Amino acid sequence: MSVTSLAEKFVEHAASMTAPSRVVWCDGSKAEYDSLIEQMLADGTLLALNEHTHPSSYLHRSHPSDVARTEQLTFICSRGRDDAGPTNNWMAPAEAKAKAGALFRRAMRGRTMWAIPYLMGPAGSSMSRAGVMVTDSAYVVASMHIMTRVGQVAFQHMRAEDDFIGGVHSLGDLSPERRLILHFPEEKLIWSVGSGYGGNALLGKKCHALRIASWQARQEGWLAEHMLILGLEDPDGRVTYFAAAMPSASGKTNLAMVVSQLPGWRAWTVGDDIAWMHVDAQGQLRAINPERGFFGVAPNTSPNTNPNAMATVRANTIFTNVALTPSREPWWEGMTKEPPRGLLDWQGRPWDPASGPAAHPNSRFTVLAEQCPSIAPNWEDPQGVPISGLIFGSRRTQVIPLVFEAFDWQHGVFLGSAMSTETTAAITGKVGVVRRDPMAMIPFCGYNMADYFQQWLAMGPRLTRPPKIFRVNWFRRDADGTFLWPGYRDNVRILKWMVERIRGTGRAEERPIGYVPTVDALDLGGLDIGRERLREALRSDAADWLPALDDLEGFYGGFGNRLPVEIYGTLADTRRRFGG
Ligand code: OXD
Ligand code: MN
């Protein structure tokens, strides 16, 4: 492999700080992956799963205090504090380097440092971007092999010697007290120390492909989004592509791999977590999936909820923090109705149901996208796929209807900016607390979100046919706490209505919040749902919405006069339509 001299310098500098016993450049080969697995089996980092039922698959048990993203320890270290904005933690670059520098100093002594050149995005795409990260974790290297394209291909895509994001990662001592995840967007640099968890340690994913990429996208006029990408094929073989933003652990992977209930309709997976979207020369929005694999949430994945994911993880998969059956098969809550007997929990102890779930609620599978039965034949098209619909979804027990459509681009951007959601186990902290999460990007936007809304607004006029923007909420409940909508594969019914709206045929009525499907507009064939329940799922009352809009105004206030006037204007219009 021919390594560029700036990449070499970057790695030498990281090595002089962390003092590893040796430096190994990764080439991304299968032999390299196999030897990493060998090494981790030998030192206990991995356990081999049942070779008959789960060939070439492994279980990794992480440190019990290192199981999710730690947002309170994640910082944007831009030169100006205002450039990070009120929704990010900010630290001055010099202070950040001093603090983390102390943690990195000689942190790799006695360890191997792997230098990983990686590409985010398909080979041959002008939208793809390279990175070079170093790490002292073999688990991180093997995971990067699955989640990114490792090796020479990264150098081939650098448009200049310095055209890469540099990443320095060390497990440190895994202590949350000595953990920091730092982003220096002006220096195209990421420093992460003290965690081996995916979102903190696989630097290509959240750190590069979202936080740093969103900063670059702003400067270059594109969008780096926390979105799945899927194509919905109709019975005539026409495919309509959607990108959908949803908060962590809120059904993105399930929707990305959805199996249609509707005869003749079929969904194709392009990506399950991140979309990079550019406007092409014809004014069409196009999206690529920068990742090569899935780092999916295991609990509640089952043959019922996501048969494609179950088929995907049959082989060549690294599971993290799932439970283990006596026959060395992975298990998690929701996989089967009854837990098998004799389980070991995610920490390797005989499972005692009184002590909590057997699998960690944020346990994961890491697997190549190409293993997914629904992977789109064109998922690695260097041109990306043309996006006709954008979806903003969140997890809300109340207020937000099952589905509605924005009046236009600006209104759609407003709806995305207005999202809030109930927290999940993907982040450390309390689960089920409602928090603001515009465009599902609150943990991932690498710059001031007021500028981010402006970036979105500015995309609209550049698009010849702007995608229609939809808001969804699969999680609304009735007074008894029962979900109003069955979700999962029945969500294809909602996607079908969106396709019809895009084609100008779907029925809808105008309400203060946007266009809401009429009760007869959704294809409900074979689904047992009463009209009353559907009406309840689609309800939007002033009594719920006016206080919600007041709360939203309070959130917007935090951005001061940096918030685009269009956003305030759309808020005021919504209030007016509700008679408020
Ligand atoms: C993820 C997340 O891992 O959003 O995708 O936390
Ligand atoms: Mn995610």
pLDDT per residue over 441-450, tens digit each? 999 999 999 9
List beta partners, residue 61. Answer: none
Domain ranges of the chain: 5-46+68-221, 225-291+377-577, 294-369
Cα of 437 vs centre of ligand 2, distance in Å, is 13
> What ligand 1 atom has the least distance to the C-alpha of 426?
6
Burial classification of residue 543, based on how many CB atoms lie within 10 Å of its CB (0-12 exposed, 13-18 middle, 19 or more buried): exposed
Percentage with pLDDT > 90 across the chain: 98
| Type of residue at 43 | D
**Selection from 301, 318, 311, 321 nearest residue 253 by Cα:** 301
pTM assigned to the model: 0.98
- Decide if pLDDT at 1 tops 80: no
294-369: CATH number: 2.170.8.10
Give, using CA atoms, the residue closest to atom 1 of ligand 1: 248
pLDDT greater than 90 at residue 261: no
Give the pLDDT of residue 580.
86
Mutate to test the pocket of ligand 1, among 295, 395, 428, 442 (most ligand atoms within 8 A of CB): 295
Span 38-49, average pLDDT: 98
Q: Do domains 225-291+377-577 and 294-369 have the same CATH topology?
A: no
Question: Atom 2 in ligand 1: which residue has the minimum CA distance?
Answer: 248
For ligand 2, the distance from its centroid to the CA atom of residue 272, given in whole angstroms, is: 8
* CATH 3.30.420.10 at 5-46+68-221, yes or no: no
Which ligand is in closest contact with the Cα of 297? 1
Read off the pLDDT of residues 59-99 as tens digits, 9 standing for 90 and up.
999 999 999 999 999 999 999 999 999 999 999 999 999 99
Q: How far is the CA of 384 from the centre of ligand 1 (A)?
A: 22
Mean pLDDT, rounded, for 410-422:
97
Q: Tell me if 273 CB under 6 Å of ligand 1.
A: yes
Indicate the CATH number of 225-291+377-577 among 1.10.645.10, 3.30.830.10, 3.90.228.20, 3.20.20.140. 3.90.228.20
The ligand 1 atom nearest the CA atom of 297 = 3
- CA-CA distances (angstroms) from residue 374 to 88, 387, 485, 534, 573? 36, 18, 24, 29, 41
- Ligand 1 atom closest to residue 69's alpha carbon, by position in its atom list: 6
Question: What stretch of H or E contains 389?
Answer: strand 385-393
Residue 248 Cβ contacting ligand 1 at under 6 Å: yes
Span 38-47, average pLDDT: 98
CA of 248 relative to ligand 1 center, distance in Å: 5
- Whether 426 lines ligand 1, by a CB cut-off of 6 Å, is yes
Rounded to the nearest angstrom, the distance between the alpha carbon of 427 and the centre of ligand 1 is: 9
Cβ of 227 closer than 6 Å to ligand 1, yes or no, is no
Q: Among residues 171, 236, 245, which one has the least CA distance to residue 214? A: 245
pLDDT above 80: residue 121? yes
For ligand 1, atom 4, name the residue with the nearest CA: 248
Tokens of 41: 């089996």
DSSP strands (E only) in 107-161: 112-120, 129-135, 149-150
**Which ligand 1 atom is nearest residue 273's CA?**
5
Taking the CA of residue 427 as reference, the ligand 1 atom at the shortest distance is 6
228 pLDDT exceeds 80? yes
Confidence (pLDDT) at 189: 98
Backbone phi, psi, residue 73, to 5° = -110, 10
Residue partners of 304: CB distance under 8 A and separation at least 6: 488
Cα(10)–Cα(453) distance, integer angstroms: 34
